[in-house]
Amino acid sequence: MKKLKLIYVSIEKMDKKQGEAVEKFRRVCFGNVPPKEIKEHSVAKNFGRVFVYLDDTIIGGASLFETSVNYCKIKIHLGGMGGVCVLPELRHKGIGSKIVRYALKILKEKDYDVAIHSVDLKDKIYGLYEKLGFKFLKQKVTFTDIHGNKIELDGVMLAPLKFKDIYENIINNDKTFHWGKGYW
């Protein structure tokens, strides 16, 4: 395989080629998600993207998100990733793992307490996240859509970044975890 290069780009500094790659990844990897769901649910604050290049071609990436929540009287600064995608012809070569590891590194450098990610339980890709330190939340997880409705979400995973005790408090709790506006 040729040389892979991973980079982090803030949303404000993305160029046209990177923006086009994001749209391509949405079609290729998430074309099965109804447009109404994307419009009404995917409203969380996206602060940056990880891109993976194969020579000069963008072949994958992930969006990075942030929010703060109060859970069991503790303020938690959540960092997360969504839209993790590798072009189909390049899958099963470890590129997705590299994207997730790099995204976790960026989230840790930006001082988030824990990383959160939502997976489709029908897709066995969640094994990749488990290998990289994520665990499923057992309690009910909700978020708020653009209309202010609380929506329940399955397949939410958490990984420790900064404070293991905050991570353990969430993982070992049965109280509903509400992560705020939108999901990723």
Please tell me the predicted confidence (pLDDT) of residue 184: 73
Please tell me the predicted confidence (pLDDT) of residue 140: 95
DSSP H stretches of helix in the chain = 16-30, 35-41, 95-109, 126-131, 164-171
- Which regions in the chain score pLDDT beneath 50? none
**C-alpha span between 24 and 111 (Å, rounded):** 30
Please tell me the predicted confidence (pLDDT) of residue 76: 95
Query: What is the tally of structural domains in the chain?
Result: 1
Please tell me the predicted confidence (pLDDT) of residue 41: 75
Please tell me the predicted confidence (pLDDT) of residue 73: 92
Please tell me the predicted confidence (pLDDT) of residue 43: 67
Please tell me the predicted confidence (pLDDT) of residue 45: 77
State the Cα angle at 147 between 143 and 153, rounded to 5°: 25
Please tell me the predicted confidence (pLDDT) of residue 9: 98
Please tell me the predicted confidence (pLDDT) of residue 36: 75
Residue 164: closest CA among 120, 115, 127, 123: 115
* CATH number of the domain encompassing residue 172: 3.40.630.30
Please tell me the predicted confidence (pLDDT) of residue 53: 97
Residue 53: closest CA among 111, 120, 6: 6
pTM of the model as a whole:
0.91
Domain membership of residue 172 as a residue range: 4-181
